[in-house]
């Protein structure tokens, strides 16, 4: 059974009476354990599709299914619950909370889930060790490099043990060495712990690592490729 699936998904935006068709007739299935990238030039619909899959937006037409549940039929509070318990997010701008330490940032989603303080501190500390930043637990985001902040973001994304992690251009603000290190980390989490990853990216480093590349152009899927390139 697919974790995420779209059926004939369309997304249209209207600005001052002008309609923009961002996605048209998207049929897609993401399976458990995949390490997949949405690829395509700017404006191809990658981020729009990722936002729909992540329950951050709803389609104009068609269905988006998370564990075979149609997200379009859910109320805002229900969508928030699905994001909290089933999805993890990594953004290109990191989106860490600046006034919180690294360990508190990782703990934040666990607190929202109602997990007790001792258990969430234990899990957050273990995850920081897992991503190689145990010694920065008490540092705040502005005291860390971009690569370190993105690793914190990955730890936060997997803290809730989500069904799938959605990563929108996660390497966009990183140099190539740091980006490769981050991708190696995510590939290890995918291989050793079965975390499903879906990226939106035009970065060759990401696309080469992905085991499946879904090619978008002008809001449609024009094909896909399988097999890691490096």
CATH code (residue 92): 3.40.50.300
So what's the pLDDT on residue 32? 93
* C-alpha span between 57 and 59 (Å, rounded): 7
Q: Which domain holds residue 208?
A: 4-226
- 131 contacts 159 by C-beta, under 8 angstroms: no
So what's the pLDDT on residue 43? 86
In this prediction the pTM is 0.90
Burial (0-12, 13-18, 19+ Cβ within 10 Å), 83: buried
So what's the pLDDT on residue 7? 95
What percent of the chain clears pLDDT 90, i.e. is strictly above it?
A: 61
Q: What is the pLDDT of residues 160-182, one digit of tens each?
A: 888 899 999 888 888 888 888 88
Q: What is the pLDDT of residues 94-128, one digit of tens each?
A: 889 999 999 999 999 999 999 999 999 999 999 89
So what's the pLDDT on residue 230? 66
Average of per-residue pLDDT across 72-80: 89
The pairing of strands 4-15 and 61-66 is: antiparallel
> Domain total for the chain?
1
């Amino acid at each position: 059974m697919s974790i995420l699936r779209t059926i004939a998904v369309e997304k249209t935006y209207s600005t001052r009476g002008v309609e923009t068709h961002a996605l048209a007739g998207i049929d897609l299935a993401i399976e458990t354990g995949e390490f997949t990238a949405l690829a395509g030039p700017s404006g191809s619909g990658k981020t729009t599709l990722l936002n729909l899959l992540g329950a951050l937006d709803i389609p104009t037409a068609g269905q988006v299914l998370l564990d075979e549940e149609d997200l379009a039929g859910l109320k805002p509070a229900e969508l928030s619950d699905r994001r909290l318990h089933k999805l993890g997010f990594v953004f290109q701008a990191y989106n860490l909370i600046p006034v919180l330490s690294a360990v508190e940032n990782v703990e934040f989603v666990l607190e929202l889930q109602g997990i007790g303080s001792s258990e969430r501190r234990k899990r957050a500390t273990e995850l920081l060790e897992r991503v190689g930043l145990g010694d920065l637990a008490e540092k705040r985001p502005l005291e860390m490099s971009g690569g370190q902040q993105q690793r914190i973001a990955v730890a936060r994304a997997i803290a809730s043990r989500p069904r799938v992690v959605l990563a929108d251009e996660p390497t966009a603000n990183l140099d190539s060495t740091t980006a490769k290190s981050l991708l190696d980390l995510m590939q290890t989490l995918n291989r050793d712990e079965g975390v499903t990853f879906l990226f939106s990216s035009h970065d060759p480093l990401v696309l080469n690592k992905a085991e499946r590349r879904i090619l978008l152009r002008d809001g449609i899927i024009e094909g896909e490729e399988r097999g890691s390139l490096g």
